[in-house]
Structure 1
């Protein structure tokens, strides 16, 4: 199909309409249930996709835009991390919790006699930081006592699985270990360069001076770093999510030279580019390409959906709830556990990779992705309910 044959522009318009319709639908149903926008975007993608209405078909152009959306999602997740806030106890406990999750997932899969233990364990141990951040930020959780711990749990739960996927399942001319070394060296050089730039008075002045002009150096530099990191990751054969996440971390280091007002302004502009444009395309297109027939046509897949959903809750949720027992009260740990068990982008990558390499049946991969979609729908709602319980408890104590 040629990009300009008429069908693709119309389908792209349908994709855009679905992205715009999602927050409108969320607002309409908010009086009954508070749905994350990404859930509605995925559902709308399924509806307009080839297996329901057939308004949008899979296409290389949409795949490119979708991958840019995925990269931007991980970039914003990395950019959001404030290492000054999460260092010390938050990052230590988050790392301990993730290791326990990985051991629990791997041990459970091995006892169940599953062949693809490693890649499925990686998927089960992930946390959708880029997906939960907008929900946590909009609800005020990041500004509260749970905020640093939520950020630490999300950062470890996003970075560690990506690194393991790069180490063991990279594609290209390099081995997994060589690939990871090359990428880490490249990122170390980038971090050193950003550190030098940050200390440059001229760069700081230019970043501030162009904030309100058409030059927009901070935004342009962010996009450049994102594209460079994604290309580096693709060149060495690892998933673009790793490069994008690291790029976001590096840009946060560089732009922290700005004052708080300017840094918030840059954050707002990057959010506008990401969550206002390309990130919704990723979620809608995820729904478009989701194999609904494979899921509904397989009794095994239908049985495995609640199994995987329960596994997410136990592997990430229960371990997180237990590890943070000494630093957070019960409602706060409930919030943290529910958000920690919310998974999607890395599950999509891990399950798709496993199916493509013949490590698992396609119905199993579809069930895992379906369960991850449900986790985005259910677990943040549970977390927000825990948060309201915590708020009521604090109010009662104040009285």
Structure 2
């Protein structure tokens, strides 16, 4: 065995990686599988190192950027240590699906029906139109319409799933800026998905609308089935909740089932898989009790960000044509500036000139929102894959768009954080919670988990049962310090509240002793 592999360790690193990744090192018929496992080894190594390096930079550089950079290094365009052949493309699709499932689960649909949501939708339409117009002007209207649609979608998207951990680390989560980013991010992911399904389809626009409506009907049916089962099958919700904290992990298995079902439906309808993944996240949120949203979110993040989502970003980095990026640095700069102008500036102007009800009062807050909203990467990766497979974009152009999207994820949140640190958050500083408040919050979280595990069934104590439990036995314990231990019938002894006065307690003890003495005298007289 060692003699079979020893020549490989004496060769150049890049050559050995290429041989291993291509699966030509074994002669026992399993060369294809060995190449895939070698690629998985390098991908998981990159996935492990990226968050560590991100932490060493103080989270200023997100691990997504490291995943893309390392993917570029180990990919076929540089060291050629790993390849994206065999089953890796399927894992990449599942990673993209998990990313959009989590993004859909994070979205509160009711926020999109508010004035702020309508304003975000109108702003995105303007951003999309600007992106299409800019691409048409640059190319002198020499390309077909769908090419401009693809570029417009890429320049107007928002990386909500990538921004969520950044908002938390920057201290913007839960603030007006963070809430506004959630709204614009939801619109910046949802509407581009619909645009990809409608405008980049091989069907006619009318048939594409019919197919999309048919998929929406199927998604509604998929959402109604578990609701009906929970409502009409006795004990099903309790079983699901009870097994959620065991090796059964029923909630996560339900999430995976919804993801697989709706991605299958998108494949049957010839739609983009991200549409099904996003719909699965929205449906899963409707099935989750409000008290369990945080817990389910954490578990979904554990499942997704452990392997599948990092693999998606690494493999996406492996597909970047580094020669095209290096040969055209001005094109890369133009992509970054174009995203900022087409996505960030309209958001800034909408907040400045219109009442969007976002709660942002300072220019610094509005600038932060514009920068966060302009950071886009997952949608760019998805739309460039669709466009290149349809021959709407060249590989070099797609590589520039993906590399530019990676730079926006790196630079724009950093600039927003710098503005926040320089000008403040615009909100009064929050005091550090006290020890008591932290304990109360922990108890509330445990109570929420307990309610989920018991099927949200409250424990009700009957008043008669409570009274019988608190009724004293004066004969057996006449000298008890508690007022509840006195004989019933004594007005002083019936005061069982925690705030009874010392005088009433003393009176209760005196009454109990008096009754005990009278009972002993009566007993001796009878004897």
Query: What is aligned with 1:360?
Result: 393
Q: Which runs of 5+ in 1 are unaligned?
A: none
Whole-Å Cα distance in 1 between the matches of residues 377 and 388 of structure 2? 16
Equivalent residue, structure 2, for 1:126: 157
CA contact under 8 A between 2:365 and 2:426: conserved in structure 1?
Answer: no
- 1:49: how far off? 1.3
Cα-to-partner distance string for 1:106-133 (whole Å, 9 max, x where unaligned):
2333333242222211221111112112
Aligned: 1:88 with 2:114: yes
Where do 5+ consecutive residues of structure 2 fail to align? 1-22, 24-29, 432-527
- For 1:212, the equivalent position in structure 2 comes to 245
Kept after mapping to 2: 8 A contact 1:194/1:253:
no
Structure 1 pair 193–397 and aligned structure 2 pair: CA distance change class (3 A): closer
1:233 aligns with 2:273: no
Q: Match for residue 449 of structure 2?
A: none
Instruction: Please state whether the residue corresponding to 2:172 is helix, strand or coil.
Output: coil
- What CA distance in whole angstroms lies between the structure 2 residues aligned with 1:388 and 1:229? 42
Cα distance in 2 for partners of 1:391, 1:334 equals 12
Counterpart mapping for 1:241-390 below 5 A: 241-255=274-288, 258-260=289-291, 262-296=292-326, 298=327, 301-325=328-352, 326=355, 327=358, 328=360, 329-389=362-422
Structure 2 residue 165 is the aligned partner of structure 1 residue 148: no
User: Equivalent residue for 1:107?
Assistant: 133
CA distance in 1, matches of 2:108, 2:236: 21
Return the alpha-carbon distance in structure 1 between the equivalents of residues 429 and 35 of structure 2: 59
1:196 alignment partner, one of 199, 220, 228: 228
Give the match's secondary structure for 1:252: helix
The 3-state SS of whatever aligns with 1:60 is coil
Pair 155,392 (structure 1): closer, same or farther in 2 beyond 3 Å: closer
Q: Is the 8 A contact 2:72 2:78 kept in 1?
A: yes
**Maintained 8 Å contact 2:372/2:413:** yes
**Alpha-carbon offset, residue 66 of structure 1:** 1.1
Secondary structure of residue in 2 paired with 1:140 = coil
The answer to whether the Cα contact below 8 Å between 2:160 and 2:186 also exists between their aligned partners in 1 is: yes
- For 1:165 and 1:392, the matched residues in 2 are separated by 36
Runs of 4+ residues deviating >6 angstroms: none
Verify the 8 A CA contact 2:36 2:86 in the aligned structure 1: no
TM-score by length of 1: 0.90
Cα 1:63–1:331 shift into 2, 3 Å: same
Cα deviations across residues 122-181 of structure 1 (Å, max 9, x unaligned)? 221111112112222333323112233211111111111111111122358994223212
Q: Residue 24 of structure 1: which of 52, 59, 63 is its match?
A: 52
RMSD between aligned residues: 2.5
Instruction: Give the stretch that moved more between structures: 76-85 or 238-247.
Output: 76-85
CA distance in 2, matches of 1:25, 1:151: 27
Instruction: Provide the rounded CA distance (Å) in 2 between the counterparts of 1:241 and 1:176.
Output: 16
Does the C-alpha gap of structure 1 residues 229 and 5 become closer, same or farther in structure 2, counting only changes over 3 Å? Answer: closer
CA contact (8 A) 1:126 1:347 kept: yes
**376-385 vs 112-121, which deviates more?**
112-121
Whole-Å Cα distance in 1 between the matches of residues 394 and 412 of structure 2? 26
Call closer, same or farther: CA 1:203–1:324 in 2, change over 3 Å. farther
- Residue 104 of structure 2 corresponds to 78
Structure whose residues are more often helix by fraction: 1
Asked whether 1:168 is paired with 2:199, we answer yes
1:41–1:284 Cα contact (<8 Å) kept:
yes
**383-392 vs 65-74, which deviates more?**
383-392
The superposition leaves residues 43-67 of structure 1 with CA deviations (integer Å, 9 ceiling, x where unpaired) of: 0111111222221122121111111
Q: Which has the higher contact order (CA 8 A, sep 6+)?
A: 1
Give the match for residue 170 of structure 2: 139
| Distance of 2:351 and 2:228 partners within structure 1 | 37
Give the structure-2-normalised TM-score.
0.69
